[in-house]
Structures are given as C-alpha cells and as structure tokens.
Chain A
Amino acid sequence: AQRVTQPEKLLSVFKGAPVELKCNYSYSGSPELFWYVQYSRQRLQLLLRHISRESIKGFTADLNKGETSFHLKKPFAQEEDSAMYYCALSSGSARQLTFGSGTQLTVLP
C-alpha cells in the first residue's frame, strides 16, 4: 500500500529564513510526487511536481528514491508563503492521489 508521511503538522519560521517541509513516502513502484498548497480561503492548487524539476515561487523539491523523500525547500521564506502544504503521490495510470496529512507553514514577520 502506498503512504505519504508529513511529520510536521505545524511549522513556523521567520521571514527570510530557509524553510524545509518534509515528506516521506512508501511505494513499491515508480511514484509521481507532487506538492499542493492551499492558501487561506483558496482552493487546493499544484505547487510543483517532481517530473517537471522546476522552481515555483522559489520552492524546489528533489525526489530522493534512496531515502524515499520529496522534501520541499525554499532558501528565503516570505510572509505570503504562509499556507497549508500537502505532499501527494500518484501511481499507475489512474489519477489517484494519496495525500499526506499536511503541514501548516507560518512565516513570521
């Protein structure tokens, strides 16, 4: 069975500090990993996916198959980054996402 673990429910950092949101997964095949973000009163939206290997809003995430991790990083956090972040895994041909429990990030001024 596939599983996504986000060990931190809450994470607070100061503006300008680096931030890392942890995500570990368990899946026997080749997963596709995503980070979704939900800003206050907005819908869930894709932040980035590992196959794109892009940086969105300064965030990056590298898939580490050895450690089965897909941590989200940003070198300098901004107050507008405060949101709920979900790591998700997709497998197979169907569009079924398995979500982690989410991390509420608060960037303090």
Chain B
Amino acid sequence: KAGVTQTPRYLIKTRGQQVTLSCSPISGHRSVSWYQQTPGQGLQFLFEYFSETQRNKGNFPGRFSGRQFSNSRSEMNVSTLELGDSALYLCASSLGQDTQYFGPGTRLTVL
C-alpha cells in the first residue's frame, strides 16, 4: 500500500505571497490532519478534515486554511506569508479514529 504523499517536497516563497500544499492520503483513509513543525514550537496541530469537513482546528491565524476533496486528497493554503511561517508541514492520514500515518512533509522557506 502506498504511503502518504506530499507535494511539493520543497518550496521557497517570499513574504506576502501565498502557497498551496498538497497531501494524498493512504488509499481508503478518510481523515487527513495537518501539522506544522518548527525548531522553536515543535509539532503543532493545524487542522483535521474528515469526509470533506473540517472537524477540528488548532490555534493558528485565519491565514492558514485547508480543504479536502471527495477523493480524500487535501490541500492547505497559507496566505500573506510571513517569515515565521517557514517550517516543515506534515500531513497525516487515518481511517477515522485509527492510527495516523505521516507523510514526508513539505519544507517551506519564506524569504
């Protein structure tokens, strides 16, 4: 079974731009969660989608948004990028209430 995939793997943007990251879950998984990983704050939950509905949201500003499609693929968008948004963004999928399986992450650098 193919694992969680994330595209792109690396991204460089400048302040003020917006960015869209993509996550393809394991086949059959309907839940997709997003996390931000930084050296200072560690791993922090962004949001979770299940069957195209946002089920839970972490403590991040409205510039961070996401969506899930009918095939369970998910995207997250960050608008008006700030230097502090530089991070590794991880996506995880699960069947529902089961174990989360993580993708390799997208490394975002904001200049």
Contacts and interface: CB of A to CB of B under 8 A. Distances in A.
Nearest to B95: A95
Given A43-B104, A43-B105, A44-B90, A96 B45 contact: yes
Contacts of A96: 33, 45, 48, 56, 58
B42 interface: yes
A86 B31 contact: no
A101 B33 CA distance: 19
Interface string A75-109: 00000000000100000111111111110000000
A94 B55 contact: yes
Contacts of B100: 46, 95, 97
A49 B43 CA distance: 18
B70 interface: no
A12 interface: no
B103 interface: yes
A67 to B, nearest CB: 23
Contacts of B42: 99-102
Interface string B43-54: 111001010000
B89 interface: no
A93 B45 contact: no
B106 interface: no
A93 B33 CA distance: 13
B33 A97 contact: yes
Interface string B8-48: 00000000000000000000000101010000001111001
Contacts of B94: 95
Contacts of B50: 94-95
A20 B92 CA distance: 27
A36 B102 CA distance: 10
A95 B3 CA distance: 18
A45 interface: yes
12 contacts: A43-B105, A45-B101, A46-B101, A92-B56, A94-B50, A94-B55, A95-B33, A95-B55, A95-B97, A96-B33, A97-B35, A102-B43
